[in-house]
Amino acid sequence: MKPRLNSLVADLRATTAENREALAADLYAPEGLRVKMQAAARAGFDHLTVLGPDGLDLRETGAAAAALAWLKGEKIGHRWTARGGGDTTAGTAQDLVIDWRTAEVGGA
């Protein structure tokens, strides 16, 4: 017996959302971002670009929202930038650019 289309669509959507959240949690975990920012600073950079996966937009995930809230709390600048995918079929990627050039030192 074939599964009902509605249950298949619901399953696919749930699987997609679950795996996007997991991927975003790996990319945007605050402790991981801190380590990467410190490494970039030691190399002389005043910014870090976290490359998003080709063809996926993870900006609307809970993990991305939590990372942005953490960065805002730390008074560290951030923005999303669009980048063409690695090949013509991959689509656009959304990269997170973290910038501490204009961050307030010492807090307000």
**Which H, E and C letters describe the chain, residue by residue?**
CCCCHHHHHHHHHHHHHHHHHHHHHHHHCHHHHHHHHHHHHHCCCCEEEECCCCCCCCCCCHHHHHHHHHHHHCCCEEEEEEEECCCCCCCEEEEEEEECCCCCCCCC
Report the pLDDT value the prediction gives residue 61, as an integer from 0 to 100: 97
Give the C-alpha distances (Å, rounded to integers) separating 1 from 9, 53, 57. 17, 37, 35
Q: Is the pLDDT of residue 105 over 80?
A: no
Q: What is the pLDDT of residues 40-97, one digit of tens each?
A: 999 999 999 999 999 889 999 999 999 999 999 999 999 999 988 556 556 788 999 9
Q: How confident is the model at residue 107 (pLDDT cuts 50, 70, 90)?
A: very low
Which of 28, 78, 72 shows the shortest CA–CA distance to 53?
28
Report the pLDDT value the prediction gives residue 108, as an integer from 0 to 100: 40
